[in-house]
């Protein structure tokens, strides 16, 4: 994890669903090394990219409104862009663009 733009805690603490009205319970958030490809949550509505085996990714799962188990993976390069954008950190955003391949 030496090439991460932010701390592990930053990646885990970001709440991507702030303001949602759903009742979220049994929530777990982890940084995992993927064993197989997973669609990136942010890529599903865009370029359709996914993680590759061995990539570091955020994995979150939770029980939503008491009847639906939601689960998603989010790649680190998308997390870098999200954190940089939220913090107004242009330097980190530029660095993420240089060392990460956004074409996957």
* C-alpha closest to that of 33 among 75, 78, 61, 83: 75
Query: What pTM, to 2 d.p., does this model score?
Result: 0.77
The pLDDT value recorded for residue 2 is 54
Whether 83 contacts 89, CB under 8 Å: yes
pLDDT score, position 8 = 94
> What are the DSSP E strand ranges found in 1-104?
24-33, 38-39, 50-51, 56-64, 68-75
The pLDDT assigned to 100 comes to: 46
Q: What integer pLDDT is reported at residue 9 of this predicted model?
A: 95
Q: Which residues of the chain have pLDDT under 50?
A: 99-104
Residue 8: Cβ within 10 Å count: 11
């Amino acid at each position: 994890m030496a090439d991460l733009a932010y701390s592990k805690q930053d990646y885990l603490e970001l709440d991507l669903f702030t303001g949602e009205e759903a009742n979220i319970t049994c929530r777990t958030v982890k940084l995992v090394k993927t064993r197989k490809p997973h669609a990136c949550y942010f890529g599903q509505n865009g370029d359709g990219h996914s993680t590759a085996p061995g990539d570091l990714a955020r994995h979150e799962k939770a029980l939503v409104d008491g009847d639906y188990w939601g689960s998603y993976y989010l790649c680190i390069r998308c997390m870098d862009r999200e954190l940089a954008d939220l913090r107004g950190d242009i330097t980190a955003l530029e660095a993420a663009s240089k060392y990460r391949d956004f074409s996957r």
